Amino acid sequence: MARVGVGIDIGGSGVKGALVDLDEGVFIGERIRHDTPENSTPQAVAEICKAIIDELGADADVPIGITVPAPVLHGIIPFIANLDKSWTGINADRLFREVTGHDAVVLNDADAAGVAEYYFGAANGVDGTVIVTTLGTGIGSALLYNGILVPNTELGHLEIDGRDAESHAAASQRVKQDLSWEEWTARLQRYYSHIEMLFSPDLLVVGGGVSKKHDKFLPNLSLGCPIVPAALRNTAGIVGAAVYADQQVRGIQPEALPR
């Protein structure tokens, strides 16, 4: 019988969750989506998560991984985007455990995507340093070393040439500024060259919706390390959250997980 976890991805417009086969990195059954409540306080969102868990029929001992668009420091959220500002300073792990009645672990949404790509996606089987970036409204990032997550890297907020990197190189800027693919690729070249200089990664993985069109920009980047499109795309946050919760709740070492 497959090991099972639950992953829940909290966004500004929707809360999505699914049962996850932890051995294969795929959904068991259908994904469930609820609208994010207009009054997106921690309590209101936690109640939505509980409803999703109940609808999924998760057993009491199934670990729950929950992503948020924010850093998470030992369960505490220092600041947040796209949700009510009352999230600031709360112990999210404690809140979700109390409301859902499950062992719940909260992590940054880009970190969850990175975990998924490492174990089941484009970075599977790659040892050493892997950096996963998500190109969208901003730039999210995840840094892993031999499968161990170094959380909350926020590499989209590196200052490059005197400006916040994501304000210049995020996918949203290509659309907002009506940039050609060539013009935007030049900005990505500057960004990823800087990332490579700082971390000397063994692999860079590029996710986000624009990764569907990776052939328009990735082949034109010149780097010393491989850079590849993400494989899991819209399932990555949920899958990665479930895997990470399983690691944390059950005390499983990353090396013991399937790769």
The per-residue pLDDT for range 166-197, each reduced to its tens digit, is 999 999 999 999 999 999 999 999 999 999 99
Q: How confident is the model at residue 121 (pLDDT cuts 50, 70, 90)?
A: very high
Tokens 């969850």 -> residue: 112
DSSP3 helix / strand / coil % (the chain, rounded to 5):
40, 25, 35
Q: What is the mean pLDDT of residues 61-85?
A: 93
Share of the chain above pLDDT 90, in %: 91
pLDDT tops 70 at residue 259 = no
Nearest by Cα to 146 from 116, 119, 113: 119
pLDDT at residue 258 in the model: 47
Domain ranges of the chain: 4-111+235-256, 124-230
Fold topology of 124-230: Nucleotidyltransferase; domain 5 (3.30.420)
Q: What is the pLDDT of residues 29-61, one digit of tens each?
A: 999 999 999 999 999 999 999 999 999 999 999
Share of the chain above pLDDT 70, in %: 97
Nearest by Cα to 246 from 16, 22, 10: 22
Question: pTM for the full model?
Answer: 0.93
The count of other CB atoms within 10 Å of the CB of residue 198 is 11
Tokens 């944390």 -> residue: 248
pLDDT tops 70 at residue 227 = yes
Nearest by Cα to 152 from 70, 82, 81: 70
pLDDT at residue 256 in the model: 46
**Domains 4-111+235-256 and 124-230 belong to one CATH topology:** yes
The full DSSP string for 66-122 is EEESS--BTTB-S--SSS-GGGTT-BHHHHHHHHHSS-EEEEEHHHHHHHHHHHHST
Mean pLDDT of the chain: 94
d(CA 2, CA 64): 16
Q: How confident is the model at residue 18 (pLDDT cuts 50, 70, 90)?
A: very high
Q: What is the mean pLDDT of residues 70-77?
A: 95
The CATH class of the 4-111+235-256 domain is alpha beta
